Structure 1
Amino acid sequence: MHESAERPPDPSCHPGTRTAILDQLDKWSFEQPSNSPMLWLHGCAGIGKSAIAQQFAASCHHRSQLGGSFFFKRGSAGCGTWRNLVPTLAYQLNVSFPQLGPLIQHAVETDKLVLGKAMRHQLEKLFIQPFRDAPPLASRPILVIDGLDECEDRSAQTTLIHALIDILRSGDAPLHILICSRSEAHLREVFEAPESLDVCRGLEIWANAAASADIRRYLTEEFSRIYHTHNARGTVLGKNWPGEDTIEHLVKKSSGTFIYASTVLRYVDDEYSHPAKRLKTVCNLDPASLTALDDLYTQILSAIPNRPTLLRLLHICATMIGRCDPEDVDIVLQMPQGTSRALLRGLHAVVQVAPVDMIRPQKPIQFLHASFGDFLMDPQRSSSFSVSGEELQKTLVHEMACALLSSASLEIETFRLFASAFLACLPRIQPSAELLLVFRNVDFQHKLFSSIRAWGEAQTIITWLKRFYPASLDLIRIWGKFSRLASAFELPLLPYGFYRNWHLPPQSTVTSSNYDYSKISTRQYLQQSADLLDIIRISTVLPPEICHATLMHDVLDLLALKWDALLPLIKITEPVNSVDLEDIQDFLRDPDKCGDLWMPRDKILRFTALQCIHRMKGNLRTKNFIHFNEKWISILCHCEPDAEVLDALKDLDFTPVFSSLELDPEYHRKGLVDPAWFADILEWIQKAHSPPPQLIRSWGRQKRIVEECYARLGGPDN
């Protein structure tokens, strides 16, 4: 019961927080009749479900609506199993609704063994029969059942849901029933089954911006209370303690869940300790202060079988900051497809996994709590569940190397993330002959370097290789060349929408160095390397802000080239011992200098546009399409809409992607599919001389469909 002395002092919601959810619950409680007499309130561990249930139960009690409440608690003798559930609720109904009281008492007196019988029999005798025989009630009694996932018998959890749904569907017991639990897979399957939806709906609590705002208010007001309490005891604290920066740090670490914030506050608000010192300890990530949270994580992990495989899986997730999907983890760990999903199924309380049929760009596996990653990486906190051991690091590096070497099945962004994780782990292990053999593989060299986004990452490899000198001398020389290229192609951070607003660079520019690139050697290298010539030609029509980054990652992919296509740049620039892309671009922009190598800009744009259309068609049904669209559609709109380009465009159809807008809000939140693209392309097509009407209709339809999706979902957060 919500007022039971047996229950630990779980607080209600902090005043002024969770108001939107509580308002929804209040509105649902007054629905007469209700289309959804059962409401499933669910969310991740620690997000505050019990506090909301406690607050709602208290409000219902105050309004004389509460029929009864039951709060499961794992390990509790009285609240850990289903055995006391029905009798406890029946007792409360007996007290709260006098019309039912005599009928419930009669049921117990006539069947003295009812409390020891099966759940459905108890519900029939103590719920259904009394409601059938009672006069109509003025309002529907509300039952609150919290922590269903903490009931020790999993089969009893699903049996209870089915039994209550059957009661509500029959109409024999006019009740409102609120069930709160974690979003466990086996519970989700029952609540969201088609046969349940006529009486049940779900309300998920999200760790979103509104939750962070509530946590900020909670922390601010609780720290104020702690300040005044300890100040009255003579404890000296700074005037502005704890400060906005500290509160923002704790809000960020809370990841939208109250469990971290409440644990921190309990730790800081110690009667016999100085709160400032305790808070400093928390901010310095002292694990000893978070035992309640650690116990929760340990409890969740202990229930998962196959611990060695689980640790390998969690290690890669922690290393990748939760940015890989289960199918890619299966590839890296060389496990049968579906293994990772099966293991992660039991971690729904702390890990979020996208459904297998949903495209989720860049964020398939997510740790729901930032502190969960800290817990896993700190052996003092996680003990046998720690994933920071040297042997795990060594194994992961070897597994990632093998995955990168055979990366055909990895998406572009996932490949880059794995490569980044590989480079992050590399310095922590000793070189081995086996790993050096992998580094000597030419294909591996190109694949790894294709993911490098900065000079420092190439230097990481060189520094690591020097630990195995002189056996690694040949590799040090190779990566020295790659390092020079990487220094020319640092990846800038560009704002959303940048590509829609840039303009073509001038037709010709002033040479930016004194070195004469018109020498025969430069022309010769470019003539002998058609691929490099195409790459630099494309770069001449890109704005300076993006041409380096685009060359580094996308032009090579656009043209299906490897990194050896760029190696002639080193030979061209050897006299000045640096790679200055702008000088070579200036050379190719000037017809007087480059002679027969010169190509008019309109032809370069047409060539680039045709390549973009071809690649977008190939990538449209994969996650990879999002890495082309924004910049390449802007290139397309700078090209002359001639017959060849329009003909290639006629069967480019984005409508298969639009369903992802409905399934996955990530698409519209981050602008991964932007209505502005379609408006731009349609306007560009209409500028053509005699544009094909069918093409205008096709892109007009695509523009209309995506705008309708955005009207329902809202536009991207710019």
Structure 2
Amino acid sequence: MLWLSGPAGTGKTAILQTISERCYANDGGEFLAATFFFSYRTPETRSLRYLVPTLAYQLAQRIPALAIPILKATRADPSVFKKNEDAQMRALVLAPIGEALRAGSSKGWPELIVVDAVDECDPEMVKDDDCSGARFRLEKEKIQRRVLDVLLPERAIRAFFNDASHGTMVNRITLDKDWSPDTDVALLLRCRFRTLCQQFGIADGVWPSEDVIRFLVKRAKGQFIYVATVMRWIEEAEGSSLQERLDMILGWENTHGDEDNMNPFQHLDNIYRRIISSCPAPSTSCLWLRIVHFLSTANFPAFVVDRFLGSQPGDVERVLGCLHSLLSVPENKKAKRYRFYHLSLPEFLASPSRCKDLYVSDDVWINYFVLRYLAFVRGGSLRNADFSIPLPDLHCISPSEEVVVAMLDFDVQTWVASAIANDDAQYCCWNFGNLYDWVHSQCPAVLPCTQLCRKWQTEIGEACERGDWTAPKRHARTIKGRYTDRFRKKRDTSVASVQARPSPSKVFLIILAVALLGAWCAVVGRSHFGKNVGDDATM
């Protein structure tokens, strides 16, 4: 196993993509067995649940001897896709490989499996026990596959790869200064500038000077994302010349100097701040970028995001129009999503120390999101997309005064009824419970609930009852619980009656409790009766 690690923006994914493409193209794919590239950009590529089924499918395609065993495994247990990753790995990969090896040789099988950026999947899914299970499978099953992992040094992943018990099973390459990244950064800069010169008829070698190349290489600090961002900014020059754009970059960097040597992204952050500051309303741009990131990672196409944000015609272009060097804007907005060019931008926006005066706190953007959500639902003629939009987790912030006023004026019952009729149970459960809990979390512990809480509690409950959904009957006064799992569609009566039957173990416990209670009553009764008889005899 080879672990390729390094800071963000150093080109790890590009290296793996190149290796995969060349392995597939040069030898007809005889060396490449399977690949999986994690990415924060879509729910499918940031979830661990798709990893094993995808690898199993590719192995079945690439290795004919595995196709039948893998197919048999899925037919024998169709529920395997709902099981955890360890069970899936054993059923869909290891057991079929073992069966195929017992039936014949593995000679000629592809040997390379590429897994990229496990750190970009949902954080709660990458745990220490997942890594220990991976080690057990590699050592005990003795499956000889070459696995190339590209990861950032997250804690659980780092602990797994640094475990000395692996011996020589794991090799490591760290993309740091020892690999002379400056040479590659300079090469990339020269290639991109040469392309620009050819496009605009500038003689080769005239522009820019080698001093400029060296300056930008020094600022990049081995981060290719810095080069990519700078070049997109220069290439998209509108209303100014290429040299003017380049001078802006050089001027920004000279202004900031080396003010924050502890921040490895300081020069990239300078570029981000300057590009965003060139917008007509920089703070609004940062606010919208945080919402764009949230909705895009929830897989909503760009036109839905535009509808959600654009309260007036032209607002989206005014706020986001200067940010095309940071944000990929699709031509077909109904089919494609907005896409950040690199994860470092949303990380920058979420960090007050990096974003500085442009920082938009969670309180601000989430309250604004709720306001837009209420307005979107109220003015969206209750279309399907209105109800599939999930709200951010609200429990860590307080509603602003503007949000409280809007929620007091909101037609809760129509919203709930329409959402239930839309039959999207997942988002109904989350949004109902999220808002239900949020308004109650603002109530005093020992005093009656606020007007806002009473309104939403009553109207959600009544609308759910009419829509044949369950809802909490009342709030606990002193405990602020989470209610996202308390809203659900009522089950069919016949099914519910069957499922409502207590299990044999519960029946046994009930009988045992009754028997013990009866025995205790009998003992107490005999004692009391004996005492009375003794008293009577004395008399």
TM-score range normalised by the length of the shorter chain: 0.3 to 0.5
- TM-score normalized with structure 1 length: 0.35
If asked which structure has higher relative contact order (CA below 8 Å, sep 6+), I would say 2
- TM-score normalized with structure 2 length: 0.46
